[in-house]
Structure 1
Amino acid sequence: MLIRAEAAAELGTITQTDLDETINKLRARVGFNHPLTLNVGFDDPVIAAAYPNVQGSNPKLIREIRRERRIEMFAEGVRYDDIRRWACGNLLTAPRLGIIIEGAGYSDEEIQALKETVGVNEDGALTIYEKRYAGQSPTPVFEDPKHYLSPIPTDEIGKAPNLKQNPGW
């Protein structure tokens, strides 16, 4: 259902009926009674920055469908494929941070202990990997174009000598 809605939105052929038969059915199933319409009345700047290369005629709707897919498919193992398909490898290079501990119900002593043990960034978010991997870069790496493609197994290249390895592999 999500792919159907996404494809129609990308092609510019999506109708309200398509949304009602796909996204809105999923929303209704979980009791979320705010149906998605063709005219998305907002443009979340965080989501817009995450998906800067949307090409369709209704980019706000496409981004909203992508957000819906991210939520609906959580922990299903398809996120990496979606990110590669959308050419949004930038999403994988953001530093991994923990919660912002200020005002989160911790005492001043607990906050200080967390800051000393784990570390925090300038926004107060826990930098959960920086101290754990001291001397290593905790920043994820995504190489373009290498990580948009998978390596071709060498035994397959051996069977077909005209087959060339994907760039970077």
Structure 2
Amino acid sequence: MSASMKRSLALLLTAVVALAGCTTPRRDKPADALTFVVVRHAEKATDDPEDPRLSDLGRERARRLATLLADAPVVAIYATEFRRTRETAQPTADAHHVPISAYFARGPAGESAAHWRRDHDRGTVLIVGHSNTVPDLVAALSGQPATPMPETEYDRVTWIRFDADGRARVEITRY
């Protein structure tokens, strides 16, 4: 084999290997998948015992949540009727130009979850609740048991991602 043919063969093999690297399996884009992000409201102030606002620390945490979700395809945001949940969701709502829809904090978690699953089949849905409601919402959405949330915990983020077959995968992170 001549040197010229060897070089041509080497170039051809290089091209084949390079093209083979381009044929990766198709993965659903984030916008094509359904993800629920469930958080507790951020730290609350002591200004009102019934319906407090967020504290300075809570407002900073709400901004961090918006940063965390900056690249997510947020299609809906739900918060309870209380100021602290709406204020937690507001920076994300502003960043994505998505309105905050209210849900009843004391309503059955299963009903809320069924409503959200029926209304959304793709994108990221942010749900802001309370320490005594988040675990039930996570369990109802995912069909998996959820860890209780102590009153002092504000940084848990539960990601519930659904695959093409509708199976839920739950991941917990902190922010």
> Which has the larger strand fraction?
2
Same fold (TM over 0.5): no
TM-score range, shorter chain: under 0.3
TM-score by length of 2: 0.22
Which structure exhibits the higher relative contact order, with contacts defined as CA atoms closer than 8 Å and separated by 6 or more residues?
Answer: 2
